[in-house]
Structure 1
Amino acid sequence: MIKRIATAVVLIPIVLLLVLRAPVFLVAIVTGAVALVTVHEFLKLTEAYGVQPLRKPTYGFVALFFLLLVINVGQEKPLLSTDFFGIAAAFAAAIATFVFLTIAMRRESLATGYPGAAASAFGFAYVALPLAMLVQLRQQWAGAFLILYLLLVVWAGDIFAYFVGRSVGRHLMAPRISPKKTWEGAAASMIASLMIGGGILYYSASVSTALLGWGLIARRDGMFGLERPALLPLLAL
């Protein structure tokens, strides 16, 4: 527990400064590194199920995708770059399946090829693409606030899941994969996320004003950014 708290004390300020103040290209670089680590953990999980994923090709594909993202980021006006990013992400997801299947068919045992290619393609779509979308979101109006909102909601859920799971958790979710996670903790995580998320959203203008006053964000990075007419239709969704 002490190790968790110490890690949080060190990393949380760094993450917040990265999200709120760092240039978008640096956010893309760090997010790419996180994507590689996360994909690595995901592929380890698939191996526990007896699947043999394409490790090196997957790492290479994820790294190349984020390299192209770093090169492209900030080159266009944010609202105009969204369509391009959507097309690029869809193309990357489609081509990933083709690339991994082509490599997997060169294995001596074809029985392991398809599951391995499927695991690698799913890892890219499930892990790398959502993280890349955070980079895209960061360069939008109010992007910094929305990512901060997401982080706070996730952190709140994790904190409540940890303490509730340790204190009253009895029903295990996945004993072989994560022995300490319980359904009670999961329920606490959901409730905490909804409560914290609702509270932050309700006071979003005040939070944005405070962050602006402290010099942590520019005006376009707070909820003030959603005052722009071009984004108003999104608020009704």
Structure 2
Amino acid sequence: MKRVITAVILITAVLALIFFGKLWMLTLFAAIIAELAAYEYLQLAAIGAETNGAKLRIPFWWMAIATALAFIVTLPNFPVEDQLPVLSALTLVLFLWNGFRAPLNQVLPDTAQGLFGLIYIAYPLTLIPLLWSKENGPTLVLFLMLCVWVGDTAALYVGRAFGKRKLAPRLSPGKTWAGSLASIAGSVLIAFALAEAASALNAHGSVVLHISEPLWQTLVLAAILNIAAQLGDLLESAIKRGAGVKDSGTMLPGHGGILDRIDALLVAAPVLWFALLLKDYFGLGRF
């Protein structure tokens, strides 16, 4: 029951932000989620370092400030050219901190893990408000969320009922090929339903949902996003198994940690962003 209640609250909050929120609200919400997930990442990285006889030296203050700045420089009043210099400056600050405080054999690993945490967690979540700001942005973000949510749900129930052959037992023993294929099918079906709903609403003069691209592109994109989401889930499992833990944390009753809930999104969101860039480059139209 805790799992269901938590899921309902989170989904309701996300849908309300997508359709009734403003850009600053969506940005703030994504930033808070990123800060919490970054904290969990530091905990996992520290446990992983201890298992190898080392001590992680990524200060939380650096991760918190770096994550916040990653969102600040994506706001409309900041030019996109600011993002790389800010990232470089943050890396240099962490490098200096570790260089003068950590054992020499830990300077590079600690700095690299800090930078990876920023790119792995903060950057993908900064794309959510950026996607929302695009043409048909609310529908685009809803499309992304539905592909991840429905795919994950289909994989869970079909995998439990029919799954026999393991997908990646070294990373996640519970995942099966049956669940994986059901996940792709679930994402494609919900994308089809969303496209049909948008078409029906548009026919009646409503612009609540709008998709301008051909249906085949929407379905292909849904399948690609689902595969990316499954990879994101497996990669986070690799981090957890390396640290010897089952969940990334306990912040979400019945679900584990924040990172456990957004792991698929952390890969799916950048893939969607890059797919849209490729669509523009090859003249395939907007979403």
- Specify whether residues 146 and 100 from structure 1 end up closer, same or farther in structure 2 by C-alpha distance, changes over 3 A only: same
Matches within 5 A, 1:71-82: 72-73=75-76, 75=77
**Contact (CA 8 Å) 2:195, 2:211: kept in 1 or not?**
no
Provide the rounded CA distance (Å) in 1 between the counterparts of 2:200 and 2:43: 39
**Contact (CA 8 Å) 1:142, 1:222: kept in 2 or not?**
yes
Provide the rounded CA distance (Å) in 1 between the counterparts of 2:188 and 2:141: 16
**Quick check: which one's helix share is greater?**
1
Tell me what 2:103 maps to. Answer: 109
**Contact (CA 8 Å) 2:18, 2:141: kept in 1 or not?**
yes
Provide the rounded CA distance (Å) in 1 between the counterparts of 2:103 and 2:12: 48
Provide the rounded CA distance (Å) in 2 between the counterparts of 1:183 and 1:113: 40
Cα displacement (A) at 1:142: 0.9
- Specify whether residues 103 and 24 from structure 1 end up closer, same or farther in structure 2 by C-alpha distance, changes over 3 A only: same
2:117 is the alignment partner of 1:118 = no
**Contact (CA 8 Å) 1:46, 1:53: kept in 2 or not?**
no
- Specify whether residues 144 and 208 from structure 1 end up closer, same or farther in structure 2 by C-alpha distance, changes over 3 A only: farther
Deviation readout 1:83-118 (Å, 9 max, x if unpaired)? x33x23333333333222222112241222211111
- Specify whether residues 96 and 9 from structure 1 end up closer, same or farther in structure 2 by C-alpha distance, changes over 3 A only: same
Provide the rounded CA distance (Å) in 2 between the counterparts of 1:125 and 1:208: 38
Tell me what 2:284 maps to. Answer: 236
- Specify whether residues 107 and 12 from structure 1 end up closer, same or farther in structure 2 by C-alpha distance, changes over 3 A only: same
Of residues 132-141 and 15-24 in structure 1, the stretch that sits farther from structure 2 once superposed is: 132-141
- Specify whether residues 211 and 114 from structure 1 end up closer, same or farther in structure 2 by C-alpha distance, changes over 3 A only: farther
2:71 is the alignment partner of 1:66 = yes
Code of the residue aligned with 1:223 in structure 2: it is I
Code of the residue aligned with 2:94 in structure 1: it is F
- Specify whether residues 111 and 5 from structure 1 end up closer, same or farther in structure 2 by C-alpha distance, changes over 3 A only: same
**Contact (CA 8 Å) 2:27, 2:126: kept in 1 or not?**
yes
RMSD (Å) for aligned C-alpha atoms: 3.3
2:93 is the alignment partner of 1:45 = no
Tell me what 2:225 maps to. Answer: none
**2:196 counterpart (200, 203, 209):** 203
Tell me what 1:223 maps to. Answer: 211
Cα displacement (A) at 1:43: 2.8
Code of the residue aligned with 1:52 in structure 2: it is L
**Contact (CA 8 Å) 1:53, 1:115: kept in 2 or not?**
no
**Contact (CA 8 Å) 1:208, 1:223: kept in 2 or not?**
no
**Contact (CA 8 Å) 2:73, 2:83: kept in 1 or not?**
no
- Specify whether residues 42 and 112 from structure 1 end up closer, same or farther in structure 2 by C-alpha distance, changes over 3 A only: same
Matches within 5 A, 1:163-202: 163-170=157-164, 171=166, 173=168, 180-197=174-191, 199-200=192-193, 202=195
Segments of structure 2 that go 5 or more residues without pairing to the other structure are: 50-54, 214-276
SS in 2 for 1:203: helix
Provide the rounded CA distance (Å) in 2 between the counterparts of 1:100 and 1:210: 54
Tell me what 1:78 maps to. Answer: none
Of residues 148-157 and 2-11 in structure 1, the stretch that sits farther from structure 2 once superposed is: 2-11
Between Structure 1 and Structure 2, how many residues are aligned? 213
Provide the rounded CA distance (Å) in 2 between the counterparts of 1:19 and 1:211: 22
Q: Provide TM-score, normalisation by structure 2.
A: 0.62
Deviation readout 1:204-230 (Å, 9 max, x if unpaired)? 6426639984x8x4xxx74369xxxxx
Cα displacement (A) at 1:153: 0.4
